[in-house]
A = this chain, B = another copy of it.
Amino acid sequence: MSEMEEKKGVESPQFETRMDAPTADVENQTPSSGFGVAAITRRWKREDLLKRGSLALRGLAMVFSLLAFIVMASNRHGDWKDFDKYEEFRYVLAIAILSTLYTLGQVLRHVHELSTGRQMMQKRTSALIDFFGDQIISYLLISSASSAVPMTNRMREGADNLFTDSLAASISMQFLAFLALAFSALISGYKLSSQSYI
């Protein structure tokens, strides 16, 4: 530092201005990391957080849609109390299976990528599949859950038994899976756009 102060006297005024600028102050406070490095580290941390967040949300969606599938599929009590006599409950079951398979595949793929550090496909293809998959499955989940609600309500007006309670439980799980996947679609939409492909 003593050498630089000695130089200050003989150098041009341009050098003095640079030393007085606010960037120079910051550099003196933290000599090892400048502005650029801090911004990049922050960006890395944010991307890591987003990656783990969307993985957790997809895991939640998988659990909820698996529960919806199991509760609905085991809901057969004979006579009119069979879920497969009503098209809306068959729809709920079909979408629950689809959503379980989709989220399972996504979770396995992302866990594999996080643990090995290798990409299974191009980054752009991966982001596109993530976003459109999440968005389409979440539309299907809300659609199936709300299609099953009116019939369940009508049955519960007449009788409140094991069949209608299981229906209500399955629909609720489907709705929770929708919530998790809708948030995951938000995150993957942000990831898709923030990489300036278009």
Contacts and interface: CB of A to CB of B under 8 A. Distances in A.
Count copies of this chain in the complex.
2
A99 to B, nearest CB: 15
A88 interface: yes
A190 interface: yes
Given A143-B142, A193-B194, A150 B153 contact: no
A167 interface: no
Interface string A185-198: 00001101110101
A151 B151 CA distance: 8
Main secondary structure of the interface of A (DSSP, over half): helix
A176 to B, nearest CB: 15
Contacts of A139: 139, 142, 182
A150 B88 contact: yes
Contacts of A151: 150-151
A149 interface: yes
A198 B189 CA distance: 14
A164 interface: no
A87 B86 CA distance: 18
A100 interface: no
Interface of A: 46, 86-88, 139, 142-147, 149-151, 153, 182, 189-190, 192-194, 196, 198
